[in-house]
Amino acid sequence: MPQDDEAITTLAGQDGAIEETGRFAPRFDASGLMPCIAIDHQTGTVLMMAWVNAPALEATLSTGFAHYWSRSRNQLWKKGETSGALQRIVEIRTDCDQDALTYRVAVTEPAGTCHTGRPSCFYRTVPLGPGDLDRPLTFDDADH
């Protein structure tokens, strides 16, 4: 949890606080899930945002390949098993309050990371400015 979220700030710096512990204690949500951000290990590009539960995380740690929990199919999902865009894990990080993860990955078939055939799911920019959320998007498939 980033700064300003004062309800948890009081824990910071205390021995044994979730922010300072040297033990991994992932905090899944009420559905048993946690957001996980996949990052290209070479470019640093954010490739996708997906969800993990404990079995997906255990499978990732034990195999060295990214696993997620598919909310739409309601099943464990080894990324790239059908597309070829496997994600070999380079590094996993947890955030301060241990309710989000990053996977730094090496992708075996980058063009297949997004189901649209793009290397990243974040290929559209949202223009800034006041007004309704309903506004045009700009397609930008370049690494960012």
Scanning residues 59 to 88, which ones bind a second copy (CB under 8 A)? 61-62, 64, 70, 72-73, 77, 79-83, 85
Query: Which residue, 58 or 106, has its beta carbon nearer to a second copy?
Result: 58
Among 33, 46, 110, 141, binds a second copy (CB under 8 A): 46
**Contact by Cβ (8 Å): 89, 102:** no
**Contact by Cβ (8 Å): 104, 41:** yes
Establish if 20 lies at the interface with a second copy (CB under 8 A). yes
Among 35, 76, 108, 141, binds a second copy (CB under 8 A): 35
Count the alpha carbons within 13 Å of 80 in the hemisphere toward its beta carbon: 22
Q: 104 Cβ partners below 8 Å, 6+ apart? A: 39, 40, 41, 89, 90, 91, 92, 93
CA 20/CA 16 separation, integer angstroms:
6
Among 15, 100, 110, 142, binds a second copy (CB under 8 A): 100
Among 96, 108, 110, 141, binds a second copy (CB under 8 A): 96
Number of residues that bind a second copy (CB under 8 A): 83
Establish if 93 lies at the interface with a second copy (CB under 8 A). yes
* Structure tokens given for 26: 């992932």
CA 135/CA 32 separation, integer angstroms:
34
Q: How far is the CB of 132 from a second copy (least distance, A)?
A: 8
Establish if 144 lies at the interface with a second copy (CB under 8 A). yes
Among 15, 16, 130, 142, binds a second copy (CB under 8 A): 130
Among 32, 92, 141, 142, binds a second copy (CB under 8 A): 92
> Which residue spans within 53-107 are E strands per DSSP?
67-70, 75-78, 87-94, 101-107
